[in-house]
Amino acid sequence: MYDWSKLDKLAQEAEQEKQLEEADKLRLEKELEAKRKLCDRVSDNLSIDLEKLNRLELSVLYELVLSFLDDEYNDSLFTEERKLAWKALKDPAFVNYVQLKQSSQNLIQQNELLKKLGVHLSKISSDASSIKATNFVSGMFAARQIGEEIAEGPSGGD
């Protein structure tokens, strides 16, 4: 007899994957719409009023400027997006925002790296301690052997 629960499980997984794909598609559409609105809002102004931007618009602008600064993606930007990126880079408040955000991301990455490194250094330290203990015991044993040989005196030879 065939186990239908496996087939049901596969169908559920396929449905979940489809829902995730639809959610990603919806999120991308929202980002594109926000980017279009932002381009329209800012394109006529000489400067960007950061205080009037909502979180999504600020995030889109940030990502747009990063892709503008990245040589690989710069060619794929539309003319309006390039103009918007230049306008954003001319605004000292936005440049400070980008620098602060990059600095905080760098600090987070450094902290994660230090945590990983700390675990490895701790392991190395404990391994070194056991090696020192082993070397100490071996040294004591060798010293005892040498002491016994000296105590016995020269054997046989002359």
The H-assigned helical ranges of the chain are 4-43, 55-69, 71-74, 79-90, 92-152
Q: What is the pTM of this model?
A: 0.50
Residue environment code for 14-51, b if the CB has 16+ CB neighbours within 10 A, otherwise e? eeeeeeeeeeeeeeeeeeeebbeebbeebeeeeebeee
Which DSSP symbol is given to 75?
A: T
The predicted-structure confidence for 68-94, as pLDDT tens digits, reads as follows 888 666 666 677 778 888 888 888 888
The predicted-structure confidence for 13-38, as pLDDT tens digits, reads as follows 889 999 999 999 898 888 777 777 77
CA dihedral 69, 73, 75, 77 (to 10 degrees): -90
Higher-scoring residue by pLDDT: 157, 25: 25
Which pLDDT belongs to residue 149? 79
User: Are 64 and 85 in contact, with CB atoms under 8 Å apart?
Assistant: yes
Which pLDDT belongs to residue 21? 92
Which pLDDT belongs to residue 46? 46
39/80 Cα distance (integer angstroms): 7
